[in-house]
Every structure is written in structure tokens, then in C-alpha cells.
Structure 1
Amino acid sequence: MFPEPRATYRIQLHQDFDFFAAAEIISYLAELGISHIYCSPYLQAASGSTHGYDVVDPTRVNAGLGGESGHRAMLQALKQASLGQVLDLVPNHMAIPGRENPWWWDVLENGPSSPYASYFDVDWDSSEDRWPNRVLLPVLGDHYGRVLEAGELRLVQDQGEFTLKYHEHSFPVDPCSLSGLLARAAHNCGSDLLGFLAGCCSRLPRPTVTKRREVMRRHRDKAVIAGLLTGLCAEPGPRMAIEGEVDRVNQDPDALDRILDEQNYRLAWWRTAGRDLGYRRFFDINSLAGMRVENEDVFAATHSLPLKWVREGSVQGLRIDHPDGLRNPAGYFQRLRDTCPGVWIVAEKILEPGEQAPPDWPIEGTTGYDFLNLVTGLFVDQSKEDLLTDFYVSFCGNDQDFKALVRVCKEKVIRELLGSELNRLTSLFVAVCEKHRRHRDYTRHELQEALVRVGANYPVYRSYVRTGSGEKEPVVSQADKYYVREAIALAAEETPEPDAELLSFLEALLLLEIPGVLEGELAMRFQQFTAPVMAKGVEDTAFYRYSRLLCLNEVGGDPGHFGTSLEKFHRQAGTARDKRPLSLLAGSTHDTKRSEDVRARLCLVSEIPEKWRNQVQAWHEQNRKYITDGVPEPNTEYFIYQTLAGAWPISPERLEIYLEKALREAKEHTSWTSPDKDYERRMQEFARSVMQDERFCRGMQEFIEPLIPAGRVNSLAQTLIRMTFPGVPDIYQGCELWDMSLVDPDNRRPVDFQMRQMFLAELPGLQVQEIMERMNVGLPKMWLIRQALGLRRRRPHAFGPDGEYRPVYARGKKSDHVVAFLRGEIVLTVVPRLVLGLGGDFEDTVLDLPPGDWENVLTGERLAGGKIELSRLLDKFPVALCARDREVKAE
């Protein structure tokens, strides 16, 4: 079994921060108390990748990060510091940028005959009537015919290798399509060998063959042809003849069209992807193609290198990206667990409120968004919900509740972004209904509308039903039944509602109650459909439209639910300890909409709705002169003020970049696929004007100034909870000091590790008062993390899977402002909440320390068991971490 991780530190690797740079900070992370670095994906990614999730070759380490030598340097540094490593794996998809991906390149060249054709989730029959056995490639800037006739497509020959070029794009050429060109060139130069090769191309097994013997013959003969052709092109006569024919083809759109028509792909206008794409994508990103990792050969090929590192002991943990995209996540995790039983595995599973990770997944837990949202809500003042909501509605003029908005956004995403996926699913539904006489007379439109309605109403990311095979029975959990039936019921309530019998039929199909291959395929495909619908409809649309309290608009969160009660927090903590005690605990991630420190400050808005209302109204009146033709509309203006309040101070450049993303994600007035440049220009002019308005900036600073200390206390409180909650705390790069970042790319700015190393080296020689005096640079946060992780190292049994969790409740007038709990009965966490309402005075509020001698490892104070006043406990440092017995003296 793996050594239990104490804490992880997320590192974003890219060309400007590669393996060598990571190696240089390993000793710093060890001193901080980290047990495992947690790297972004570093298998070979597309050129210039800044994140690593666009893998093109999983059999190689990323050359752009330093390659093998850089990787060895990082591993050596980890070994010297006795740190482990968690690797981020991407099993759901690969990037397909031309020949950088050798597997995809082979598929384009050889079609279904490619040995990698089964690796990618391509539906070769999806458009049988228009382009059978071909992959649609939506890369052209205009309609195919217009691009062809404008001369933007051309055939290229280089030393016998033929490719098709479109600007920066490159595509392989099926040798079968070259027989005519080579035959004409052979005739022109009188080369018998070239004529022979032309004949070989015409006799080559077609790319549609799939029988092993024919496939092997095609690839053998193709390789021989390529070798001989390369040799011939070294001779002036054949080379010039071939070049002449290539020039002739490029000058004749009809001739080039004939060659293009014989390829295993169809080049098309980029907008066709919205309806006709024949392969599963990652969300709506055409350049990321879905993988069939449920295929054992695909699993072995894509995981061979990471599993080699696991066997060698250089990787101790795996973070699995987007398992909801997989056909059978439970099967995938079981295969992964069987292959590497001694590895800590966490999944990027986004749990909706109230949802639990499937219990049959043999993993340690999630990447922590469920924890993140639970803790954020704890610092939201639930008693002020109506006041804040009333103002939000009156200012924005929209009283649509969040659930209704989600339904609208999900349907928009289905129809406008995921049309290809919807059409593939509809075709499958049509085929199913053709087999059942009671349902075969439904029109394609009716069937599609039923899928849209149920998909838009699906309450979680997906179900996890599994079709049976052989003697195995289908697997349908109670949770699957609950969520499917809820979606069907919600769809039935709509007007005009789909036919009730059709919905009942669809429900039975999705719950595998109707046997059949196509029937089971529909259920499995539907699960892979609802996941991107949820992600794009909620996280990437609704979250940018609903602005009541932006700290709640986080991945896996429900902005319609206002905060977390103390009772719910303790209840969820107990569940986490009992069910997933080694799950990851996130604060900030590379995907969070706002950093932990921005959210911590924005939570304060919930405590001061009257003051917030007055301030926003004042800003609105002051900035009315910058509003042009109704832009920004009130909801967006409100969104901007909250963003500024959370991230202040922020540069105009950062704000403008963020606004472009936020506005396009909202998809109301502009979008990534249909940007409205005029609207965006007016928005940016508004943002620029207010940021250049000295009066506004002075007013913003005056409003934020008294919130900064309270926001930092919130952050320290949330950080200490993360360090001691059941699970494994994770720190996103740079967040050991204050970090006021927004969503990427803002949260991927360079981190000043040299400064952090200097601060960490100073800490042992400083008194608590001196640390608190340097609050502005974030020293108290680094100190808290260092001391908490040091305690976790010395008392692992208190925080491990067997470490008990017990709530401790304060007594007194301000007891609701205190969160406290014991781990293993020997470590006590105490933090304040709703600190503005607390007003710096706990009055008579006390806490009962269990019997024994205690030490606050954040201040060094000795404490005796029994009643202790909160004002005394939190006098020198805003939060308290107390450990029983003298042996835990702070180092």
C-alpha cells in the first residue's frame, strides 16, 4: 500500500517552468511540509501547450518541458528530498494537431484500416450517406468549395512524401489516391519503376479493409511504396515529373478535389462541427478527440509510460482527469487499480450538491471540489440571503432563479455547441425505435426533442449504468434510478411536453430495462452526453450569468443555495472521514473560477448586504456616463463590481482579459464561436474608463480597505480547516501566500518562488507578533501551512484514515461564529467565521478543551484542559491549532 500522503502541492508545468525549474523548488516544498508534488500532465503535448491536457503522444515525456534529462533531474531532486509525486493523467481524450499525433495521423492516412482506428471514438458510419468511412475535419475558415477555388488548399510533395496543406494545417495523403498522378508522371519521364509504383498504389488494399491479413498487407505494401518513391525522388527525371504533376493538380481545383475526395477524411468549414462531427470530442473542443480507453489495448498503449514510472517507484499517486467522459469509469478505475494496487488514486469527479462518488470506484476520492464548496459556504451569512437577493433582483431586473437559468443554459449548449453529439445520439435513438413497433412512428424531431429535454433536466453530470456481457447482468444503482427518473419527471412537466409514452420508453432504455445491443449503446452514449452538457451549461455558461454572490459560483457548487450551516459542515466532515478519508482537499486549482483568497473576501459581501447595496448604487450612478447604448447591462455591471471587489487591486490589463472570457462564456451577447466585436469593444471601453477614473478607484479602495483584514482571516480559517479536515490538503502553486487570481489564464501567471523561499527561511527566527506584522505579504498564511503540515508529519495517526473526527461546539453569545473540531482526540482546530458580524469581540463565548496539557502550535502558548475563552485563544493569531502533550512543541 502507498505511504499516506501528508499534503500535495500543485505545479503547473510549461515551457517557462519546466522540469528543471520544478527541481529547483523541491527542497523548498519539503521545508514547507509537502509530501508529494502534484504535477500537471507531462506526457508529450501539442507544441506550445501551456497546460499539458492536449496530449499527442503518451509514449514520450514532454520534450518542451526538458524531455528525459529534465524529467530525470526532477526525479532526482524528489528522491533527495524524500518527496513523492502525483501525476495527472488524461485518459479521456488526445489532441489531434496534424502529424504531432502519430496515431491520429495514421488514422487519417489509413481510415478504418489503421491499427489505431479503434483507439479513437470515431463513428465511421455516422454520415454514411454523405461521406462513408471518413472523418469530418472542421478546420476550414469558409465553405470547402470556396477555400478550394481560392487556392488555399494545395498538394505538397517532399522527397516522395505527399501531404495536403491548408495554412498551418497539414494532412496525410492516402497512397491509393496517388495512382493517377504517379502514372501521369511516369508517362512523362518514361520511368518504368514509377509506373510500377502507380500500379501498386491502385492495387493497394483499400482503407476500408479491417481483416487482419488485408490490413497487414496494406501497411507492408504502403511502406515499400514509400521507400521506393523516396529513392526515385532523388533522381532528377522522376522528381521533376512528379513536381510537374503536383503543380498541375494545384492549379486545377477539379483535379485537386478528386484527390481530396479519395482521402479518409473530409475537410470542412469549422462551423460544421456544430452538427456533423463524427467523433466524440472533449466538450466542444474539435481539436481534442475522445479515446476508447475501455479497450484493453488502448489502455495499455496510453498508460504504458506512467505505469512504468509507478513500477519504478517514481510516481506514487495518480490524478485522473475527467473520468465522466469515459464510457465505463468504474471499469477503468478497476483496471487501473488492478494494474497498480499500491498507488493513491483520486478522480476529477465533480459532485453536485448531495451527490456521492460511486461507491464501486476503487479510488481514494475526488480532487476536492466538494470540499471546496462545503467550506466556502461555511463563511457565507445565511441569515442575510433575502437582503442580498432582493437587491440583486432589483438592480439587475431579473428574478429568474438559478435552477431555471441552468435549464435554459443547458438547452442552449445542447443545441448550439453539442449539436454533433446530439445528432449522433438522435440517430442511435431512431435506430432503436425502428426495432420497437410501438415507437417506430416517432419522427426524428420528436426523438431529438425528448433527448434535449431530458438532457437539459439531468440533475448531475451523468449516470453510471453498465451493460452486461456474457453472464454479467447490467449494473444500475439506486442513484442511477433516482437521477434518471428525476430528469424524466422534470422533462414531463415542460410545455409542450414530450409524449408521455416516449418519455417512459426513454426512461426504460436509460435504466437498461429493455435488452438489446443498440438499446444498451444508447444508455451508455447518453451518459457521455450529459457530462459535457452539465460542464458547459453550468460551469461555463450559467456561472457567468448568475451573479448574486460570486464566491458561490465554483465548480461543483450551487449558487442558488446560500451557504453552509455549521451542522451540515460537521455532518459532511464525518461522512468524509468514514467514506473517503484520503480524498484530496482543494482550495484553489488550475480550474477554479476564483482563487481561495478572492472567494474568502467575497464571502464578506454576504454579511453586509445593506452596505454593499449602497455602494453598488453609488458606483452605478457615478459610472452611468460610461454606459454606451445599454452596455454594460445591469447584470454584467454588477458582475464587474463584484469581480473588482474580490480581486482588488487588479490591473486594467488583467481585468480586460478576464472580461473577454467571462462575456464569451456567458454566451448572451457574444461567444467564442460568434464573437460580437462591437459589443466587446463597448464593454472593454467601460472597464477601461472605470479603471482610469481616479474617483472610482479611490472609492473602490475605500470600500475594500476595511474588508481586507477580515478577508484574510477568512482565508486563514479556510486554510487551517483544509490542513486538518479528513483528507489530504492540496496547495495550488503560489497560494501559500495571498493570491488574488481569477480563472485561467489569470491563475497561471508566474509564481515568485525565490521570494517564497526567502520568506520560509525567515520564519523559524520570527516571533508570532513579527509574523502578524507582515500580514500584507502573506507571512501568516505560510506560517500556518508550515506549522500545520509539521504537526501532520509528527502526528500522522491523528489525521490518517483511522483518525477520529469530532465536532466541538462553543458556548456563549457568539458560538455561531466558531468552528472547532478534534482529530484523533489530540489535535484541535478552532477558527472564527462570519468575522464582520463578530466585530472582533467574542464576548462570553468559550470552548471546552479536553483534559490534558495542550499547546497552540501557531503561537507556542501552553494551555490546560478545561474552559477557555475564545478571545484569549485567538488573541495573538486569528486561528488556533492546538495539540495535546509536550512532544508536539512547534519546531
Structure 2
Amino acid sequence: MLRIPGSTYRLQLHKDFTFDDAARIADYLHELGISHVYSSPYLQAAPGSMHGYDVVNHQKVNEELGGAEAHSRFCKKLGQAGLGQVLDIVPNHMSLGKENQFWWDVLENGTSSRYASFFDIDWQPQEERLRDKVLVPILGDQYGRVLQAGGIKVVRRGIKFQVECSEQSLPVSPPSLPVILGKAAEYAKSDTLSFLAASFGRLPAPEYVDRRTILARHRDKVVLFTLLQRLCAEEPEILVAMDRSMAELNENLDALDDFLNQQNYRLAYWKTADQQLSYRRFFDVNTLIGLRVEREYVFEETHALLLDWLKRGVLDGLRVDHPDGLRDPMEYFKRLRERAPDAWVIGEKILEPGEFLREGWPIQGTSGYDFLNVAAGVLVAPEGLMELSSIYSGFTEQPTDFHAIAHEKKINVSQEALGSDVNRLTSIFVEICEANRDRRDYTRAEVRRAIREVAACFSIYRTYVVPEREEITEEDREYITQATECAKENRQDIDAGLFDFLRDVLTMEVKGKLESEFLMRFQQFTGPVMAKGVEDTAFYCFNRLTGMNEVGSDPGRNGLSIEEFHSYCGKMQETHPLTMTTLSTHDTKRSDDVRARLAVLSEIPAKFGEAIRRWSRMNNAFRVRKPWGDPLPDRNTEYFFYQTLIGAWPLPMDRAKAYMTKAVREAKQQTTWVANNKEFEDALNLFIEFTYSYAPFQRELQQFVERILEAGRVNSLAQTLLKYTAPGVPDLYQGTELWDLSLVDPDNRRPVDYALRQRLLEELKLMTGDDAPAKVLAKADEGLPKMWTIHKALQLRRERPGSFGAEADYVPLMVDGTKHDHVIAYLRGEDVVTVVPRLTLKLGGAWKDTSVTLPEGRWRNRLTRENIEGGEVGVKELLKDFPVALLAREDVGGKADA
């Protein structure tokens, strides 16, 4: 039987918030109404990890969180508090470094490593100098310059040798040891050492597919090191001779260069990674290498501890990070489901507008970005967004076609950050063309450009065609055809036949071993293009209304209608009723409360436009002017800055500076992460400092925020109640049970004041009289209305789980009257009704004759304790004491509110 959470609470665990820290808030979470803690990854991660996605050991609990003992205490405390547990896991990649023993073994032994097949490495790339080697791009300058400057040295650690450079250590290949040990044997006059040196040199070099020989080689290598250890213990002068030989090697640059060339890796300047990297990464992060988890033995090795926890009931569910990075997500989820049939499993699948999770996947749903964007979209005014387009265009004098901007950024990222991925795909496709006489004359340059263009034309993260199973849906066929036709239109300088051929390979019209390999890798490539090109670049360039720029969104759209919201919820109840619903995550660009406040700008576009034009004139003197070029910062950055201040005010200057620096580097228009434009960044920081110290601007900003503050809070309460009552399992990101005005990470990972939250919850529990709503609203500045809404909704979910489960209906309710378009109302099951307002600033409280028709019966508003008879009820009356309404039917066996 599936172990379905009633609700989850996301915790970000790291060295400053450990298992013991999390255990201390378990009782508070249960009192709030949470059923399950949802933890960030906590298998052993790289040292100092603040997020846990850089796993180095799947068989061990992270020592920085307290290790296995603290984990046991944590799990025991959750059980005592009546809480279950869901864990975030990372099947797609691992972190590099010496802590990752799999990777260390690969660097030491190359294709002969026991773990060479664990990682997605191209051992035979186009460049011959990288054959059977792994590129390690960690040097701060060209290899020769670093070598000449003494930046690369061989050092001894016990009886083993390592290469040290750029504050990192790498192992030495055993067959290269005769260079050091042979000379040391001469100095020590040791026949035994001479024999060991020759034996290391004679170790075989089997390919990773020859498992038996690899294991025999490993055995022999261990024996040789054991004998060397014994020899050094018996004859200490051997170590002295080894050190002398090593010192001579380090002093002879030619000999050292030759020795380094014998290693299974090639040291390189860090800038080479984008074009020459020979392994698949997580997006463009060089230190996160792709795993071949589709191989069953890799799955078993990396999931053994997780599956044991699921089997023993330590975990009730898993959130699978970035399944689109996997070679075959469906196969992965099927294997996981077979091994954990009762687990609640969700995938961090990013769905674009109009796209839905594949119904054949044996999981409960997504991590909730689709809901987040639907909830945001229904709270903005379409006509206001259209007016904001004109205001944005006029203020910045920049292009405002989001889709054109996104396409350009996707092309750019595939040329630069993802260049090595394109090169790998190009090499495979050139081979495919070479084997086809009708296609062999396409040049490598043409193929490369065509691959980039088709990838940029995809409107979704990826397709899921599987040649091995002859599996392709009409949906995927349509996406592929649409992308190739778009590419043809955009690149008429390229032979249209090449795009047709690409389409035929991607839709399995043309089949073969290479064709299948290209297809599977291309599908893993389009996701990073979308993520890096759109979410991490275009979202910081197109700033019409920044609150709409969220993972999986289309900020160029003009919002959603109430009918579209109901349609989405009806679809989810029908197909994935147990999916996760969320409003803030560790990866959202802005918190739910920032987005809720910014949504109000769509209701007052003219006033917003007037304000920022006036502020720009007020602050114009603070822009840096040079004899050449435009003043700094540019207008687009300034427009973005004003929205940031409005959405997150009060925002301390240090947080504003850090966030704006990240934003402009992500935008890559004036400065980037890899090439900082110091002049621009200094000018931006000066601009921020001056605007913070300029009293007239600060006064106007404060007044503007005060005018929209209440409407923003109502939006927050509306989307919060939608999250807790719409189809799905609601997730609460740490600390957001109160107003939270956080921006993108690391801003949203600041410490949470749980003592404050525990105190406020105790206050709420004492508010039991009819005047409770008034008391709650009186403490609005402390965030009590949000906590009140969450607490009451969670209590109701705990009390009536059937009203929110897989079998519960979702039925839109009839809203009539002049302002019907300002109300979202629906029934869950037979006994729970949600009523929330939208566009309240435009409404101005003038509900007039607007009413909602409730099913017959006696109802009680759990947020106000008011009793209501079914039938037609005025919205003004319904919302008079609290901005949103949560009604529970009291005459169908339901329990009265305490």
C-alpha cells in the first residue's frame, strides 16, 4: 500500500543545520500540521556542501550532518513526533574530488578502473590527444605556463604518489611508477624495489568491458602496493631514495611533462572545459559528472542504502532530482518502483506550459513547479501585463519578445557553456552521415550548427523516445517535427535536408546503433540547453514582470484565466492526484511572497510605470558616466533593480548587492561569472549604495510598497490556500509559514528563526474565540495570517484526508455577479470548499452582487469559525472577516472545529 504524505516540510540540511538541529523542530512541525519532513539530499556530499547535491558516496550518511548516529537520532525523533520522512535523491550525477573513491579510481586506472563504466565518459573523443584520458580542467592558466612556474608537482603520501596543482590532488597511474621507483631502486641498490617497479609497469590495460581482467589487475595492483609497503617498513632508506627520485623528477620539466602525459587524465586550463570536456556533466558544472545509472549494477550500487531505508520504513518516499538528465527516465522509475512498490515517488520534472507529466511513468507526480506557475498565472491581470510590455519596452528600449530572447540565449549557451556536449553529438552525427552516401557531404560545421538550432527550437525540456523498445509517442513526434521545422525557418542558410535527416533520426525513421546513441544523448542535451539558456539566462534578461520568471514558466504569456486554472486542477485530479504542490523551493528565483507582491503590479501598470520613470530621474545622477558608452548601470538592470526592491522590501543593502551581482552575471549582458566586468559591477554597487542613502527615493519606495502591501499579502494567502486544497500533496519550504521575502539561492537558504515560529504557533493556538481572525490580522506584520491559514488548512487535511485524496472530486463552483472574475471557488470531495479572491487592488473591496453557490448543507469557515448555510452566499459576506475562506461541511460526519 502506498505511503502517501498528507503534507511535507522541506528542510535544507548542511553543516550549520544538522540532523540534531532538525530533530529539535520535529514537535513544532507536527503541531503545525505537517505529516512528513522532506529532507535535502543527505548521503555523503563534498566537504562544505550547503545543499547535498554533490554526492561523493552513496553508501554513507553525510558526516557533516552528524553521520549515521545523528541520522538515527533524527529518524527516531521523527517517529516519536508522529512524522514520516521523504528524501531528495540524486541519481544523475556525482561530485568529483578525492572524496569520491569511484572517481579517484578512474583517474588512477583510466579505462582499466573498476568504475570506468559507472560514469558517462567518452574515452574515444574526436581529439586523439584525449583518447583514453579524462580532461581535468583545473589549472588557472595554460598548462605549460603553470608547469614552468612550478605549479604542478608530484608528492609522496605514504607509499603512494600524487600530482598536486591548483590546490587539488590527483592519483598517479600505477604503470607510470617505474619512472620514480626505477631510479629509486638504483639509488637504494634494491633488487626488490627494481622488481616492484617493473611489475607496476607490466600491469595490463584492459578496457572497462573486460570485467574479469580488470578485477585481476586490481588484485595484482593491491598486492604490489602491499609488498612496497612492507619493503619500506623493513628498509626505511627506500623512502629516502623514492623522495630523491621524486625531487629530481619535479626539477626536470621535460621529464615531469612526460610523466604527466603518462597519466589517465590531461591537466588543462579551466577555460577548456566548455569545448573539450570528455564527460557528461550536470548542466555546465564541471565538478558534477554524469552517472550511467541505466546500468543495473550502477543502480544497485548507488541505491542500496536508499532502498534499505525504504524497505525498513525509515523513508516513506523519494523526490528524484533532475530525472531528465537520465538516459531513460521511464526505465529508471520502473526499476525504482519494482524495488520500492509502496514508496511515494515524485520527480523534479520541469513541465513547460501546456505540457503534462507522462501518464505511463510509475510515479505520483512532479515536485510542483507546474502548480506554482499556474497559481502565479491566475493571480495576474492579463490586460495589465500587456500594458507592462509597453512600459518595459519604453523604459529599456530593449527587445521584449521573450521567445526570441530565449531562443538567442539557448543558442549562445550551446555555443559556449555546453560546447563540449555539442561537439560530442556532432562527432556521432558526422559518423552517421559518413555511413549514408546521400548525407556524407554535410560538413562538421554544418552539423554542429544544425544540432544547436534544433535544440534551441525545442519548446520543452526533452522527449522520451527509446529505440531499444521502439517507443515513441505522437506527442514526442510532434515536438521533434515542430523543432526541426522551426530550425529550417531560422537557418535557411543550412540545407533543409540536414534538418529532415535529423528529424528522421530523432523519430527513429532512420535506425542503427549510432543513430540510437545520438538520439539518446540528444534527449539528455536539450534539458541543459533549456535550463541554462532560459532559466539561468533569459529569465534575467526579460524583465517585464520578474515575478513571472520562474522555473517552467513562460513569462511572455499574459497570465491564466480562472477557467484555465480549473482545467489544470481537474486534469491533475484525474491523472496525478498525489503530485506535489509547492510555491517556494530551494531553487525558485523568488519566494512565493515576493511573487505575490509583484503580481499586484499587473493591476496598476500605469502607476508602476510613472513611479519607475520618476525614480530613474531621481537616481540618474548616481549612474556612472564615462567619456564613451552609455551610463552604468544600463536601463534593463535598473528596471530589474526597482522590481527587486518592490518585491522584497525591506531588503538590506548587503542582500541587494549580492543578489544583483548574481542576477547581472546570470543575464550575461554586461558581465558574466567567467568574465567579470569590474567596471560595470563597481558602477552597479555604487548605484545601489547611493539609492539606499538617498532619502527622497527611499521615502517614495516605502510609500509605493505600502500602497500594494495588503494586496500582495492577500495574493499570498490566496495562493497558499490554493496550494493546500488543490489536487496534490502540499509542500512547505522551510520558514515560509510566515511572510518570507527571499530571493534566489543562497538568499533563500539563510537560517530560519524557529524559536520565533514556535512562539507564534503557540499564540495562534490560544486564539480560539470569535475574535480570533481579528487578532490574527492585527499581527499581520509578523506573518500570523499566513501561519493561521496554513495551520488551519493542515488541520483540516489531517482530519479529512479523504477530501483531498486520489478519489476526491475537484469541482469548480458557480460564481455569479459583476465581479465574478475576481473569485476562485471549488469543492473538494463532498465537504471542503475553497474560496479565494484575485486582483483585489483593482477590486477595491467593491464586491457588489458577486456570490458563490455552495452545495446544500451546513458549512463552517475554519478560518473565521462562522457558520454558513449552503446555497447562494455573497462573497463580500464570506470574506468580511478574513481575506480567504476555507469551508468544511458539518452535516456529513465531519468534526466541528475545536
TM-score using structure 2 length: 0.98
**Contact map agreement 2:140 2:166 (CA 8 A) in 1:** no
Aligned to 2:281: 281
Give 1:590's aligned amino acid.
H
CA distance change for structure 1 residues 154 and 721 in 2, over 3 Å: closer, same or farther?
same
TM-score using structure 1 length: 0.98
Q: Which moved more, 1:489-498 or 1:772-781?
A: 489-498
Q: Cα offset for 1:633? A: 1.0
**Contact map agreement 1:457 1:490 (CA 8 A) in 2:** yes
Paired residue secondary structure (1:852): strand
Distance 1:219 1:3 in 2: 43
Aligned to 2:895: 888
Give 1:541's aligned amino acid.
T
Distance 1:756 1:400 in 2: 42
Q: Cα offset for 1:329? A: 0.4
Q: Cα offset for 1:228? A: 2.1
Aligned to 2:371: 371
Matches within 5 A, 1:545-556: 545-556=541-552
Q: Are positions 1:16 and 2:12 aligned together? A: no
Q: Which moved more, 1:734-743 or 1:172-181?
A: 172-181
Q: Report percent identity of matched pairs.
A: 51
Aligned to 1:228: 227
Q: Are positions 1:790 and 2:795 aligned together? A: yes
5+ residue gaps, structure 2, are 626-630
Corresponding pairs, count: 886
Give 2:37's aligned amino acid.
I
Give 1:183's aligned amino acid.
G
**Contact map agreement 1:176 1:206 (CA 8 A) in 2:** no
Q: Are positions 1:856 and 2:861 aligned together? A: yes
Give 2:281's aligned amino acid.
R
Which of 833, 836, 843 is the aligned partner of 1:831?
836
**Contact map agreement 2:143 2:269 (CA 8 A) in 1:** yes
Q: Are positions 1:561 and 2:557 aligned together? A: yes
Distance 1:637 1:612 in 2: 14
Give 2:448's aligned amino acid.
Q
Aligned to 1:632: 633
Aligned to 1:75: 75
Give 1:567's aligned amino acid.
E
Q: Cα offset for 1:379? A: 0.8
Paired residue secondary structure (1:530): helix
Distance 2:66 2:152 in 1: 35
Which of 521, 524, 529 is the aligned partner of 2:517?
521
Q: Cα offset for 1:224? A: 1.4
Paired residue secondary structure (1:59): strand
Q: Cα offset for 1:210? A: 4.9
Distance 2:264 2:339 in 1: 36
Aligned to 2:158: 159
**Contact map agreement 2:114 2:208 (CA 8 A) in 1:** no
Aligned to 2:485: 489
Q: Cα offset for 1:825? A: 2.2
Aligned to 1:716: 717
Paired residue secondary structure (2:130): coil
Q: Are positions 1:678 and 2:679 aligned together? A: yes
Q: Which moved more, 1:206-215 or 1:663-672?
A: 206-215
Q: Cα offset for 1:181? A: 1.6
Give 1:452's aligned amino acid.
R
Distance 1:213 1:353 in 2: 50
Q: Cα offset for 1:127? A: 4.1
Aligned to 1:107: 106
CA distance change for structure 1 residues 399 and 160 in 2, over 3 Å: closer, same or farther?
closer
Q: How big is each residue's C-alpha offset from its partner over 1:68-101, in whole Å with a ceiling of 9 and x where there is no partner?
A: 111011100111112111110100000002x100
CA distance change for structure 1 residues 557 and 212 in 2, over 3 Å: closer, same or farther?
closer
Q: Cα offset for 1:170? A: 0.5
Aligned to 2:35: 35
Q: Which moved more, 1:295-304 or 1:214-223?
A: 214-223
Q: How big is each residue's C-alpha offset from its partner over 1:603-638, in whole Å with a ceiling of 9 and x where there is no partner?
A: 000000110011001100000001113211111110
Distance 1:202 1:115 in 2: 19
Q: Cα offset for 1:532? A: 0.1
Q: Cα offset for 1:218? A: 1.5
Q: Which moved more, 1:701-710 or 1:385-394?
A: 385-394
Q: Cα offset for 1:889? A: 2.2
Q: Which moved more, 1:766-775 or 1:748-757?
A: 766-775
Q: Which moved more, 1:383-392 or 1:199-208?
A: 199-208
Give 1:82's aligned amino acid.
G
Distance 2:208 2:137 in 1: 25
CA distance change for structure 1 residues 105 and 194 in 2, over 3 Å: closer, same or farther?
same
Q: Cα offset for 1:167? A: 3.4
Q: Which moved more, 1:591-600 or 1:626-635?
A: 626-635
Distance 2:661 2:263 in 1: 39
**Contact map agreement 1:809 1:819 (CA 8 A) in 2:** no
5+ residue gaps, structure 1, are none
Q: Cα offset for 1:384? A: 2.0
Q: Cα offset for 1:158? A: 2.1
Aligned to 1:742: 743
Aligned to 1:728: 729
Distance 1:240 1:883 in 2: 82
Paired residue secondary structure (2:853): strand
Q: How big is each residue's C-alpha offset from its partner over 1:696-717, in whole Å with a ceiling of 9 and x where there is no partner?
A: 1111001101211111111001
Q: Are positions 1:479 and 2:469 aligned together? A: no
Aligned to 1:150: 149
Q: Which moved more, 1:872-881 or 1:673-682?
A: 673-682
Distance 1:185 1:566 in 2: 80
Which of 551, 568, 571 is the aligned partner of 1:575?
571
Matches within 5 A, 1:501-650: 501-629=497-625, 630-650=631-651
Aligned to 2:177: 178
Give 2:715's aligned amino acid.
N
Matches within 5 A, 1:245-284: 245-284=245-284
Q: Cα offset for 1:846? A: 1.4
Distance 2:471 2:777 in 1: 56
Distance 1:373 1:881 in 2: 22
Paired residue secondary structure (1:888): coil
Distance 1:762 1:709 in 2: 22
Paired residue secondary structure (2:271): helix
Aligned to 1:343: 343
Q: Which moved more, 1:393-402 or 1:46-55?
A: 393-402
Distance 1:293 1:495 in 2: 36
**Contact map agreement 1:133 1:264 (CA 8 A) in 2:** yes
Give 2:337's aligned amino acid.
R
Aligned to 1:768: 773
Q: How big is each residue's C-alpha offset from its partner over 1:338-381, in whole Å with a ceiling of 9 and x where there is no partner?
A: 11010000000000001111222111000010000001011101
Q: How big is each residue's C-alpha offset from its partner over 1:132-169, in whole Å with a ceiling of 9 and x where there is no partner?
A: 20000111111111111110110011221111101320
Give 1:359's aligned amino acid.
E
Distance 1:171 1:269 in 2: 16
Distance 2:532 2:121 in 1: 22
Paired residue secondary structure (2:309): helix
